[in-house]
A and B are shown apart, each in its own frame.
Chain A
């Protein structure tokens, strides 16, 4: 069980690991800790999964709400954005 101060330090390190900002030595040290500490390992995995989901958010083009689409069409026409 980590103290709150340790948790904060570990959280900063886990973020640095996600962002590939650790030196090779620090990375190796943290990876050893992750192998040994189940709570840190599962927390890191959940954080990684969260980001992975967000990175996949735009895999499918979202739909433009119909009303927004119609108003944008009218706007483009009114403003004569397209000349021809």
Chain B
């Protein structure tokens, strides 16, 4: 059965927050219904694996409930929850990374001569006005085709609105690496999308 988002139990976000601080199950359900879908989508984009994303979602709920007393309301509840989700996803990726050989340094050391600049032809009149479910799925699938080093930078910078500095700090890389990876990610996504729009 599809989720019915119902915030009517709580007059506004402030009331919902108070309910969460009191540990009310209605508030928890409300938070769950309202924010879990976006938190899961966000986690999936970052970690790139449905099982891992589910783990991130579950841990993010625990962290949110642990920290809700400390939340001062300087941002919206949504922004706060999405930041917790991002942090949880990045923490999980760091743990994985410590266990495997990383190619990130190699990705940043490629010279301009090695940049593949042969963009796919873009259709003349792409029908982009309606972002339907199929196109949304294509956009998500293209993201998952990016190498992790490019995907993380693109998601943080373009989708979550991190600044270059915040992205660099979150990923433990330099500012120039953020820019190089972002530009590469944009080009790769544009080419993947061009293939889809041309029906290939």
Contacts and interface: CB of A to CB of B under 8 A. Distances in A.
Interface in B130-188: 131, 135-136, 139-140, 158-159, 179, 182-183, 186-187
B48 to A, nearest CB: 16
B186 A47 contact: yes
Given A8-B117, A84-B25, A64 B61 contact: no
Interface in B43-84: 50, 54, 57-58, 61-62, 65
Contact residues of A: prevailing secondary structure: helix
B159 A57 contact: yes
A62 B186 contact: no
Q: How large is the interface on B (under 10, 10 to 19, 20 to 34, 35 or more residues)?
A: 35 or more
B27 interface: yes
B7 interface: no
B158 A53 contact: no
Contacts of A79: 62
Given A56-B131, A64-B40, A46 B190 contact: yes
A61 interface: yes
A56 to B, nearest CB: 5
15 contacts: A5-B112, A11-B183, A15-B182, A42-B122, A43-B119, A46-B194, A47-B190, A55-B158, A57-B159, A61-B38, A62-B136, A64-B3, A68-B57, A76-B61, A81-B28
9 closest residue pairs by CB, A with B: A83-B23, A82-B28, A46-B122, A82-B25, A64-B37, A50-B190, A8-B112, A62-B41, A7-B117
